[in-house]
Amino acid sequence: MALWRILLLCLPCVAFAAQTDPEAATGLSQKKVVHAKQLLVVSANPYATAAGYQILKQGGSAVDAAIATQLVLGLVEPQSSGIGGGLFLLHYNKASRKLTSIDGRETAPQAATPDWFVENGKLLPWNQAFVGGKAVGTPGVIRALWLAHQKQGKLAWAELFKPAIRLASQGFTVSPRLNALLAQSNHPGLRQFPPAAQYFLPAGKALEVGFVRKNPDYAALLTKIANRGPDAFYQGENAQAIVDAVNRASLHPGNMTLADISNYQAIEREPVCVAYRVYEVCGMAPPSSGSIAVMQMLGILQHFDLKKLTVGADQFIHLFSQASRLAFADRERYVADPAFSPVPVAGLLNRDYLAARAKLIDPQLDQSTFTAGTPEGAQPLADSTAPEYANTSHLSVIDSQGNAVSMTTSIENAFGSGLFVNGYLLNNQLTDFSIDARKDGKWVANRVEAGKRPRSSMAPMIVFNAQGEPIIIAGSPGGSRIIDYVALSLVGMLDFNLTAQQAAELPHVTHRNDVLALEKGTPLAARAGEFKERGYEVQVVELNSGLHLIQRTATGWQSGVDPRREGAAMGQ
């Protein structure tokens, strides 16, 4: 039985008022914990997990397995991620004891301006802006995977494509989750753009559970990329197909060029690490806001003796929510692509700064407002908002040599822009920028600019013990709620000694500096009145995380698979 049904503890999630997550919740399923001595892969779909596991058994590295897993995810879980999107990847090399990260985030075309989402003199509302060509950024997945393979791959590049090519050619069985998301979706592009409609809604109806869906176009393109490398994606016929789909879209056409695609480069960035109690917690640098916000929350919570509490106690939930509010206030103002707007990372994570932020927390009551602080290195900027929904995917891998990968990958909204090219969906990541570029006479850091990478909440994390050994590989989908999902799972394992599976099953609580959200269907939902008495505005909502965790044990590794999705773990 799930942990949250056993314990009277709960933890929920937040949502913007009156918004429904396009990638909706599709029920709970009990997950098997896998204990492994040598190698382990955890991902959001059994087909994808099996592909990664196959590569590991062939002697492949953690990066090799992540590549194979991603290529299959783009086929069987196309609403969440794929080669038409972007990713952040953390890699730990045991031999060198070095942690590196790769930024495969999408980029805005050179024609983009701060007024990119203004049409006919009016700012497009988000629920229109995300559909069609204007929202599409240059995809980064293939370049990022290629860079990772050049650095850390063991098997031949082409070998990693075989599971996905085989599955796309022979067909995969449509899962209940994909069927439900198609049936529930109100995405205009799925019906108005013929390629997507023909693939996902044959005869006008959602793909049925159990239907064997083949994708020969995807198989053909993957075969070209396997043989020729990333140029097969970023040049030639595929690049032209992307440009045509974006610029000729019947809804909100864009202005992308072949040069926008061919010039794309993935970036190797220095990871960001902070001390938390006796551990070192590491994640992505900007344009990820997710890892920094998680680290800020931990840095604030470090000033409270959580071990005197339980993970489901009202007081813990209060402290967790207040820490989240403070982190989100800073995130909205300061984090963006560092090539365009300097991000005061050191100031945001400074111990004294976080200690001062922690002192703003009332021990019992919610604060009516939390505004951004003024960390060292901060510039005068306006706060920005950009809706990020509960989509995306995360995978975690450990190989037989002890190398680790934590990778979060996304096409943004469920089913992305709705544009379907050569068997895959194109992202709508440009709506992760703040659509409104100016507020109160000040620039928003996360505004649209040519060649810029939009801010992301993706937060792949790796935690190390005092001996410098990786002990947790973590991450989740969930839009901006990723921050709270990941932070809660880390606190659960590090402070409350939960197993990875127990941490993945924790009921969610999030506060994005707007309202406190409690997860529907959990015991905590019944305690909404207690939090209202503390001054909170409370919502009880469905949540849809996808935590995929790996945790070190005395004899090896164990998995944590989110019961809210159809993920699986495999290892030996």
Q: Annotated catalytic residue: which of 223, 392, 408, 522?
A: 392
Quick one: which of 463, 505, 53 has its CA closest to 282?
463
Count of beta carbons in the 10 Å neighbourhood of residue 407:
33
Per-residue three-class SS string for 242-289: HHHHHHCCCCCCCCCCHHHHHCCCCEEECCEEEEECCEEEEECCCCEC
CB 141 within 8 A of CB 86: yes
Distances from the Cα of 387 to the Cα of 2, 130, 295, 431, 561, angstroms: 31, 10, 22, 8, 26
Could you give the angle at which helices 62-76 and 162-170 cross, rounded to 10 degrees? 20
Secondary-structure percent of the chain, ordered helix, strand, coil, rounded to 5: 35, 20, 45
What the block records as the tokens of 108 is 């805005």
141-175 in b/e form (b: 16+ CB < 10 A) is bbbbbbbbbeebbbbebebbbbbbbebbeeebebb
Q: Rounded to an integer, what distance in angstroms lies between the CA atom of residue 449 and that of residue 544?
A: 31
In degrees and rounded to multiples of 5, residue 170 shows phi and psi of: -85, -25
What the block records as the tokens of 289 is 């806001």
Q: Rounded to an integer, what distance in angstroms lies between the CA atom of residue 378 and that of residue 370?
A: 17
In sequence order, the β-bridge partners of residue 456 are: 288
The amino acid occupying position 290 is G
Angle CA 357–361–364, to nearest 5: 170
Beta strand spans in 297-454 (E): 393-398, 404-410, 420-421, 424-425, 438-439, 442-443
Residue where the block lists tokens 């590491």: 282
CB 563 within 8 A of CB 503: no
If you compute the radius of gyration of the chain from its CA atoms, what whole number of angstroms results? Answer: 22
Beta pairing, strands 516-519 & 538-541: parallel
Count of beta carbons in the 10 Å neighbourhood of residue 86:
30
The amino acid occupying position 403 is N
| DSSP helix/strand/coil, 532 | helix
What the block records as the tokens of 232 is 């097969």
CB 262 within 8 A of CB 237: no
CB 418 within 8 A of CB 188: yes
Sign, CA dihedral 300-304-307-311, equals negative
Question: Peptide bond preceding 202: is omega within 30 degrees of 0, i.e. cis?
Answer: no
**310 in active site:** no
The amino acid occupying position 3 is L
Q: Could you list the active site residues?
A: 392
